[in-house]
Structures are given as structure tokens and as C-alpha cells.
Amino acid sequence: MMYRPRDASCIPGPFFHPRCAGVMCRPRARANTFRVMRSAGSPPIVLLHGLGRTRHSLWPVAREAMRRGYRVHNLGYPSRRESIEQLAERVGSRVRELAGDGAVDVVTHSMGGIVLRAAVASDALPATSLRRVVMLAPPNHGSELADRLRDHLVYRLALGPAGQQIGTGDESVPQRLPPPPFEVGIIAGRRSTNPLFARVLGAEGDGKVTVASAQLEGMRELVVVDRSHTFIMWAPDVLAHTFSFLETGRFVASS
């Protein structure tokens, strides 16, 4: 029997989804989640993009999740218009609703991980609503790049209030958050495509976040990949690590 997602118009594309059996799926402007049938026993997956990005930036993760049969909720949020505290309330409420009486897995990119941590820390989202979390390139201790650029007008206009909160100082949101009370694996990059940004960071990193800043007290696993910050989610090895952790609690073992 041919299966078409109940709301295939939610899938950003257009592209051919294997479950659509050749039916072209196109985006609908108001949609903000992917709705597809998930495999029995697998929790839904929530995706949270980073600062200045949109939910479409995590399309490679969504596509791979759908290929594996997961139900995917790729959430968008106004990362450039609200503070991290406001975003945490907004996102926490939505994830709590999606989890219901169960729990969801979450994949975050960059500041999406900080928003998730802030939602849990503020009780906007119960930790019991989260099963496993994979953070891609998270600035868990802030970014030196944000420190350097925060007073520049273009940076302030482009990234809004949240961009002022992700530095490395004691007043930054990442520095004030407690260790996460949920199972988390972190994928950090070590390739920078911008020599100037690499000099600002002054340590191994992905061009925007250092490997050291990505790490967290209490994290279950860390893997460092030869990828840059902006497009880390496109890398096949990153996708393999992501779903290995979600499915087994471990990243892919190095050969």
C-alpha cells in the first residue's frame, strides 16, 4: 500500500520522500513541524536550530530521521528577536506539549542547545520530557567570537538580544546554566573556514565555537569531527554519530 504523510506539505523541499512513493511534497508557509509515521517504540525527535538560522537548516537531520522511520518535529523560533529566556519559555512549552506523558529525543545546533538547557533550568520544560539529546557545535561556555563582535552595530542588528547573551563572560547565559539533568552527547567541530575567526577563537574549534566550550560537565560522550560550524549537520559522519547516540546512547566507535 502506498503511504503518503498525512501532512506532506510540512516537508521543506520540494523533494521526493521514500514514503511518498514518488509524490512530490511541497512546503506550506504556516507549517513548522514535519509529520511522518515513526517506527514503533521510537520516541519522536525534536530539532532546534541555532541563532540566526531557520528550521530548514536542520533539513539533513530531518531527512535522515524520516528515512529511519521517526516522527520529526523541526521547530522554528524567532532566534533574532527575543532573549534566550523568552526563547526558552517558548520552546520549552512546545517541547513539553510534544512530549505529552512521554519523552522525546532532541537534536540541537549551536544556540539551540543553550535554549534547550535554559528551558529545563527555568522549569519551562521538565527534564523527564527528554530522553536523549545530541548537541551539534553548542557554545556551552559561550563563544569568544560573540565577545569580540557584540559591540558592532551590524552584529547587534543581525542577531538581536540573544546574540548579546552568548559570550564567555560571567554574565552570559551559557555560563550561568547548571549542568544538564538529561542524557547528552556532544559533537564538536575542529575545522574553521574563516582564518580571522579562527584567530579570534585562539584554540581548536569550528570557526565559531571552540571544542573546549562545547563540552559540558556530566555529558555522556563527546566526539570531535573535522567539520565547520555552519554546515556540520550536513556531514555523513555527523549524521551517523547523531543517530547512533539516539539509538544506543553511544557515538559510533572509531575504527
Tens digit of each residue's pLDDT, the chain (255 residues): 333 333 333 334 333 333 333 333 333 333 344 333 344 567 999 999 999 999 999 999 999 999 999 999 999 999 999 999 999 999 999 999 999 999 999 999 999 999 999 999 999 999 999 999 999 999 999 988 888 888 889 989 999 999 999 999 999 999 999 999 999 999 999 987 777 666 766 678 888 899 999 999 999 999 999 999 999 999 999 999 999 999 999 999 864
194 and 105 co-located in one domain: yes
Residue 253: inside a domain:
no
Burial (Cβ within 10 Å: 0-12, 13-18, ≥19) of residue 83 = middle
The reply to whether 8 and 116 lie within a common domain is no
Claim to verify: residue 5 and residue 120 sit in the same structural domain: no
72, 6: one domain:
no
| Spatial distance between the Cα atoms of 156 and 231, rounded to a whole number of angstroms | 23
Give the CA angle between residues 115, 117, 122 to the nearest 5°.
95
Q: Within a domain: residue 147?
A: yes
Same domain, 126 and 1: no
Task: Let me know if residue 254 belongs to a domain.
Answer: no
Count the domains in the chain: 2
| 77 domain-assigned | yes
Residues 62 and 111 in one domain: yes
CATH classification at residue 186: 3.40.50.1820
* Cβ atoms 192, 205 nearer than 8 A: yes
Sign for the pseudo-dihedral over CA of 11, 239, 38, 72: negative
156-188 per-position pLDDT tens digit: 999 999 999 999 999 999 999 999 999 999 999
**CB contact set of 152 (below 8 Å; sequence gap of 6+):** none
Quick one: 23 and 101 in the same domain? no
Residue 224 resides in a domain: yes
The boundaries of the domain holding residue 5 are 1-31
Asked if 44 and 108 count as a contact pair (C-beta separation under 8 A), the reply is no
87's grid cell: 526563547
